[in-house]
Amino acid sequence: MFDRIDHVGIAVHSIDDKLELYREVLDLTFEGTEIVGDQGVKVALFEVGESLIELLEPLDDDSPVADFLDEHGEGIHHLALGCDDIEGARRRALEEGGMSLLSDEPLEGAHDKLISFVHPKDTGGVLLEFTERRGDD
Ligand code: ZN
């Protein structure tokens, strides 16, 4: 079902403050930033082979990522598993895993992907994101 770690999401106070680290020091390919309104965040994506690092900066205090930063400070926010069938992944998590999904249907994520989050209480404390790539990338 899942065939890759699509990306690791990292919560930051300011993407601008972290660009030098990821672009210059770690020398990762910067794919740009975009706004993901559903999640109340600005994201910056960096390529690491077939996976990505996704920096998440809250757009305002109502963003779930703002709450995360208040509670935990900057750091790893979620782990995204990539698949080609997000509906199947959701069904399996619900019906076979009894897991709580954080949305009633897949949401629009960064990079034109469909995403769904699973509640960390069902995954040993990890906020898991299911990701389905669309198009041909
Ligand atoms: Zn993500």
**What CATH code is carried by the domain that includes residue 89?**
3.10.180.10
pLDDT above 90: percentage of residues in the chain: 88
| pLDDT for residue 109 is more than 80 | yes
| pLDDT for residue 105 is more than 80 | yes
Residue type for 11, please?
Answer: A
Given this model, what pLDDT does residue 19 score? 96
Q: What is the dihedral of CA 15, 16, 19, 20, to 10 degrees?
A: -140
DSSP secondary structure string for all residues of 44-82: EEEEETTEEEEEEEESSTTSHHHHHHHHH-SEEEEEEEE
pLDDT tens-digit readout, 40-99? 999 999 999 999 999 999 999 999 999 999 999 999 999 999 999 999 999 999 999 999
Mean pLDDT of the chain: 94
Mean local confidence (pLDDT), 27-43: 93
Interval between CA 127 and ligand 1 midpoint (Å): 10
Given this model, what pLDDT does residue 64 score? 92
Q: What is the pTM of this model?
A: 0.91
**Residue 17: both structure tokens together:** 């403050």
Domain housing 118: 2-133
Interval between CA 25 and ligand 1 midpoint (Å): 23
Query: What do you get for the CA distance between the two ends of the chain, in Å?
Result: 18
Task: Provide the 3-class DSSP secondary structure of residue 91.
Answer: helix
Interval between CA 42 and ligand 1 midpoint (Å): 11
Interval between CA 115 and ligand 1 midpoint (Å): 8
Interval between CA 95 and ligand 1 midpoint (Å): 23
Given this model, what pLDDT does residue 98 score? 94
Interval between CA 74 and ligand 1 midpoint (Å): 15
**Residue 18: both structure tokens together:** 């972290």
What is the tally of structural domains in the chain? Answer: 1
